[in-house]
Structure 1
Amino acid sequence: MNDLAQGLAVGPGAVAAPVAASLAETGRMAWVDIVKAAGIFLIVFGHLPVEPLVAKFLWTFHVPLFFFLSGYLSRPAGARAFARRLSLRLVLPYFVAYALLTLIMLRTLDWGVLRPVLTGAFHGTHSYPGFISAPLWFVPALVVVELLYFAFQRRLWALYPVALGVSLWLYHNGKIDLFMSVDLALLGLNYFLLGALARSTGVVDRLARVPLAAALLAGLGLAVVVDLALAGNVWYTGGAYMRSVLGGVAGIAMMIAFALNVRESPLLRNRAVRFVSENTLFILCFHGVSNGYAHAFVSRFAIEGTLLKSGLAAALSILLLVPFAMLFRRWAPWAIGAAPSARRAAV
C-alpha cells in the first residue's frame, strides 16, 4: 500500500484548472485539450434530446472522464496550498455560478422560493427541490473527492476501502443524489484515483508512442461501451457496480486513445479546442442556460434527425458561452476558477 500511495501522491487537481504543463518538452499535452473539449461537448450534447441508447452510451463515461482528468492533472500541495487551491478553483466558482444562475432565473422564480433556492447551494445536489441547476452537482462532488484524496496523501489510505464499501452499499441500495452529491463523489473517486495512477505510471505517454495500440484500444473501448449501453448501463446506476466502473474506464480509454491518434491534426490542435478545454468548468456551469436558446434556434430549421439537430445545438450552445467566458477570463478569472495569468492570456 505504501508503494501505491507514493505512486498516487501527485496532489489535488480540478476540472477548472488550465491544462497542466506536459512532463515532455512540448509544454502542453494536446491530447488533454482534445479529450476535455470533446468531453464537455458530449456533456452538453447529452443534456439535449437524444435517443435512449445514445443517452446510455454517453452516460456510461462522459462524467467519469472528468473525474479521471482531474486526478491526472493533480499536483502535490501542502495543507495551506491545497485549501487555497480548492477554494479558488472549485468552491468560489461554484458559489459564483450558483449566484449568477439564481439571478438569471429570478424572472421565473417565485420570490417565496428564493430562500430555499439559495439554501440549495449548501446541499450541493439536484435532488434538493431548490437546487438551481442540475449540472452544478459535479462541483460539490469533486470537492468531496479532492478532500478524500488529500486525506489519502496524509497516509490515510485505510479510508479508501471504507469509501469503497460505502459506495457499494449506496449503489446497490439505490441511494443517489445525496447531500453534497457524496454518492456520486464516491463513485467518481475511483476514476480520480485511476487518473492519478495513470499520471504517475506514465501509461499514456507510453501508449502515445504506439499508435497502433492506441487505435486498437480506442476500438476496444468503443465496443465495450456500446455493449454496456445496450445492456442499459450508466455510470451512476445499473446492474452491477463493477460493470458500471468498467464502462467508465472503457469510455475513458476510448477517448484518450482516440485523442492520441488525432492529436497532431491541425483541425484539432488549435486555439478553439484549447479555449474550450480551458473553460470546461464555465461551460459545465452555464450550458443549462445556453442549451435552451441553442435548441430553440436550431429547431426553427427543418433538420432531419435528432442526433444532428442536438449536435448542432450543442455546438451552438458552447459558442454562445464563448464571449461570456472571454469576459470573465479578461476581467474576473477568479470567478470561474481560472489562473491569474488567464487575464493576460485573454488580452
Structure 2
Amino acid sequence: MMTNRIAWIDYGKAIAIYLVVLAHTAIYKPAEAFIYTFHMPFFFFMSGYLFSFEKYPSYLQFAKRRFKQLIIPYIIFNILTYLLWLFILRKVGDDANEAVGIFSPLLAALVVNAKSMVHDIPLWFLAALFLVENLYYLLYKNEKYNVVVSLILFVLAFLNTTFNKSRLPFCIDIALVALLFYHFGSVLRKYGDKIFKPYLFVLSTAVVIAVFIFNGKVAMHTNHYNNIFLFVSGGAAGCYSMAYLSKKMYDIFGERKLVQAVARNTLIICALHLIVFAGLKGVMLYVFKIEPSILIGTFFPNVIFALISMVICLIICEVKDRLVKTRLYSATQ
C-alpha cells in the first residue's frame, strides 16, 4: 500500500510541477487563472500526505532535516539566480528591468517577499513549505485538537486577508492558509485508496470550476485570494481532483521512469524554469528570429514552450547527477 501511494504521488508531483511551469508562461489568461485555483494548494497537500509524526519522533531531528532539504537549496538557488539576474537578465532579455535596485531582490529573499524576488519568484515555495512543516509539527502533534487548530488558523487567515493589506515576513500569512491544505493531505492519507470515488471526483471538479468562475484570479505567493472561503474550498476540491487523477494515471500506466525523474527533481525544476525561459526566449529571438511576444495570450504554443523548458530542466538535472556520481566515484579511488 505504501509503495502504491508513493507511486501516485510521483504522478501528482509531475503534473503539478508542469502546471507551475505552464502557469508561468505567457499563456492565455483564463487558463492561467484556472491553474492558480488549485496548483499550489496541491503541492502543500502532497507534502502533508507524505508527512508522518512516526517517522520523526524528534522535532529537532525533523527541523534539521527539512532545513537541509529546503532552506539550504533556497539559499543556494537564490545566490545563483541572483547573480545571473544581476549580471545578465537585469540588462538583457524579455524580462530585463534595470529600474529594479540591485539589492532589492536580496532583501526580498531575506524576508521571503515573493513579489519582489524578481530574480526567481518561485523560490518562495521552499521557504513557505519549511515554515508550514515546522508549524504543522508543533501545532498538530496532539491530534485531538486538530479541528480547533484548523478553525483558528482559518479565522486568523480570514482576519489577516481582510484587515491587513501588508505582507507578513517569511510567508507567515501564506502559512496560515497553506497549513489547511497540508493538514487535508495528512487526513486523507489515513483513508488510503478507498477515499478515491468517481462521484467525489466529479463533485470536486465541479467545485473547482465554480470557484474559478466566481472567485477569479488568485495568487498564493502574494497572499491574494479574493474570497478566502471560496479559495480554500476550491483549493481543497482541486487537491482531491488532482489526487484522484494522479492515482488513476498510476493505475493505468504504472511506474514510469520519466514520471519518477520529474517527481524527483521538482525542486530544481521549480528553481530553474524561469532561467530556462529566459534562455529559450533568447534562442527564439537571436537564433530563429522569432519574437517571444508571439507567445503572449496563446495556449498551445505555451504548452509546447513549457514542455521544452521541462525537458531542458531534466537535462540539467541529469548532468548534475552524473557530475555528482563522477566526483563520488573519483573520491573513492
TM-score, shorter chain, exceeding 0.5:
yes
Whether 2:248 is the aligned partner of 1:261: answer yes
Aligned to 2:59: 79
Q: Count matched residues.
A: 303
Question: Quick one: distance in 2 between partners of 1:175 and 1:295?
Answer: 35
Question: Quick one: distance in 2 between partners of 1:140 and 1:83?
Answer: 13
Offset of residue 217 of structure 1 = 3.0
Aligned to 2:107: 119
Deviations 1:5-54 (A, max 9, x none): xxxxxxxxxxxxxxxxx52xx46632111111001101110011122321
Given that 2:29 and 2:297 are in contact with CA atoms closer than 8 Å, whether structure 1 keeps it comes out as no
Whether 2:96 is the aligned partner of 1:97: answer no
Whether 2:272 is the aligned partner of 1:275: answer no
Q: Structure 2 counterpart of 1:75, which letter?
A: S
Aligned to 1:138: 125
Given that 1:127 and 1:178 are in contact with CA atoms closer than 8 Å, whether structure 2 keeps it comes out as no
Secondary structure class of the residue paired with 2:274: helix
Secondary structure class of the residue paired with 1:264: helix
Of 294, 299, 311, the residue aligned with 1:319 is 311
Given that 1:135 and 1:284 are in contact with CA atoms closer than 8 Å, whether structure 2 keeps it comes out as yes
| Runs of at least 5 residues in structure 2 that lack an aligned partner in the other structure | 91-97
Q: Structure 2 counterpart of 1:74, which letter?
A: F
1:1-347 equivalences under 5 Å are 23=2, 26=3, 29-76=6-53, 77=56, 78-108=58-88, 109=90, 113-128=101-116, 132-155=119-142, 160-173=150-163, 175=165, 177-199=167-189, 201-202=190-191, 204-208=192-196, 213-214=197-198, 216-233=199-216, 234=218, 236=220, 237-266=224-253, 269-294=255-280, 300=290, 306-331=298-323
Secondary structure class of the residue paired with 1:75: coil
**Per chain length, whose mean CA-contact separation is higher, i.e. which structure has more relative contact order (CA < 8 Å, sep 6+)?**
2
- The structure carrying a bigger helix percent of its residues is 2
Sequence identity (%)? 25
Structure 1 residues 329, 125: closer, same or farther in 2, change over 3 A?
A: farther
Aligned to 1:10: none
Q: Structure 2 counterpart of 1:139, which letter?
A: L
Structure 1 residues 241, 275: closer, same or farther in 2, change over 3 A?
A: same
| RMSD between aligned residues | 3.1
Deviations 1:151-173 (A, max 9, x none): 12454867655433321112223
Structure 1 residues 69, 126: closer, same or farther in 2, change over 3 A?
A: same
Say which is worse superposed, 284-293 or 230-239, in terms of deviation. 230-239
Offset of residue 293 of structure 1 = 3.3
Given that 2:204 and 2:240 are in contact with CA atoms closer than 8 Å, whether structure 1 keeps it comes out as yes
Deviations 1:273-323 (A, max 9, x none): 111011111111111111233456578499998110110011111111112
Question: Quick one: distance in 2 between partners of 1:277 and 1:44?
Answer: 14
Deviations 1:108-160 (A, max 9, x none): 457x94444333321111234x6532111111211211121121245486765
TM-score of the two chains, using structure 2 as the length reference: 0.80
Say which is worse superposed, 115-124 or 35-44, in terms of deviation. 115-124
TM-score of the two chains, using structure 1 as the length reference: 0.77
Question: Quick one: distance in 2 between partners of 1:194 and 1:179?
Answer: 25
Structure 1 residues 304, 46: closer, same or farther in 2, change over 3 A?
A: closer
Question: Quick one: distance in 2 between partners of 1:160 and 1:206?
Answer: 24
Q: Structure 2 counterpart of 1:81, which letter?
A: Q
Deviations 1:151-200 (A, max 9, x none): 1245486765543332111222363643112221211111001111112x
Question: Quick one: distance in 2 between partners of 1:265 and 1:313?
Answer: 27
Structure 1 residues 54, 177: closer, same or farther in 2, change over 3 A?
A: farther
Given that 1:44 and 1:314 are in contact with CA atoms closer than 8 Å, whether structure 2 keeps it comes out as yes
Structure 1 residues 163, 226: closer, same or farther in 2, change over 3 A?
A: closer
Aligned to 2:94: none
Structure 1 residues 198, 320: closer, same or farther in 2, change over 3 A?
A: same
